Every structure is written in C-alpha cells, then in structure tokens.
Amino acid sequence: MAEYREIITKAVVAKGRKYTKANNAITPQHQPSSILGCWVINHKYDARKVGKKVEICGSYDVNVWYSHHDNTKTSVVTEKVEYKDIIKLHYRDPDCLDDKDVSANVIQQPNCVEAVISKKGNKILVSTEREFKVEVIGETKVCVAVHDGECPCDDDDEWGEEFDENELDEINPDFLTDHDKD
C-alpha cells in the first residue's frame, strides 16, 4: 500500500494568448506623394497580472519613408506608438497559492501590415499587428505516491567517475605532426 505526500511546487497555473491589429495615423512634416516603405523597430513591453487577466504595456517606433513635393524629395517620419493589451486567462488552477509571476512571449513582433495616404492627403495611415502568449506561474500542490523499499535511482555507482587505466593506452602521444604544428 502506498503512502501519499503533498508537494508544493511552481507550475503554470494559467495561460492566455491574444492577436491585436492596430491602426495609427501619422502626420508627416510634408504632404506625402507616395509611401516608399514602413517598418517597426524598438519594441519594448512589460507584463503584469491584474485580477484574472494579464496586462501588457508596451511601445514601438513606426518609421515611414515617403516621397513629397510631387515625388521629387523623400523623408522619413518616426512616431512612437504606445499600447496596452489585456489578455484573458484560461486553464486557471483553483488551488494556486501564489500567482504573481508572469511570463510573456511575443509570437508575432509588431510589424507593418499596410501603410497608405489618407483621403485628405495630409496623414499616413499605418496598420500594424502583434501577438502575445502569456503564462502565469504560481505555487500549487501536487500529490505523489511514496513507495516503500529501495528507489531505483539510489544506485550511486552510476554517478561515480572511475578512472580506467586502459583508456591511457588508447591515447596517441604523436597526434600532432610537423605539418599540423604550422
């Protein structure tokens, strides 16, 4: 008959995932004629648990390369975009003792999906996307069976490093030749 013990350990106690598509209007210094390129850089974020959800606050820079003055000149406009994503949690462990640790991983870094000139022609409309996966780590109880008798992992001989003198006989002391020394 086995005896049981409860072990307190850290484990994933809740998970969540969210895909976000966002639109931003950027006002360049000159009226744009055409969009030549758009890229997203300097993504930074921080995640924390708020109630039964995870809140990710972050920012990134949107850079738009555009032409102006009837396609005779080019410029780059940069705008910092700040965001807050709220992610619902699933697979919640009801017996969790402490669930303050949050692990947030970016599945899709923020990137530009589309950049177009607005109908009035004075702004650039940028559509971006991003995706996060979060895990909440907390302390929880695990019940394990304790068996009487010897443990098969108690074999100390497996872990010992014995020196075998026969291994020395297999070493070639002349493994470097004159050609290899150059």
Greater confidence (154 vs 42) lies with 42
Question: What is the amino acid identity at position 81?
Answer: V
Q: Which letter, b or e, does each residue of 34-46 get, where b requires 16 or more Cβ atoms within 10 Å of its Cβ?
A: ebeebebeeeebe
Q: What are the residue ranges spanned by the domains of the chain?
A: 3-145, 149-181
Tokens at 53, concatenated = 């959800």
Q: For the segment 30-70, what is each residue's pLDDT rounded down to a tens digit?
A: 999 999 999 999 999 999 999 889 999 999 999 999 999 99
Tokens at 148, concatenated = 């009487």
Residue 143 binned pLDDT confidence (cut-offs 50, 70, 90): confident
Q: For the segment 78-104, what is each residue's pLDDT rounded down to a tens digit?
A: 999 999 999 999 877 777 777 778 999
- End-to-end CA distance of the chain: give it in Å, rounded: 70
Backbone angle region of 148, left / alpha / beta, with phi > 0 → left and psi within -120 to 50 → alpha: beta
Supply the pTM of this predicted model: 0.72
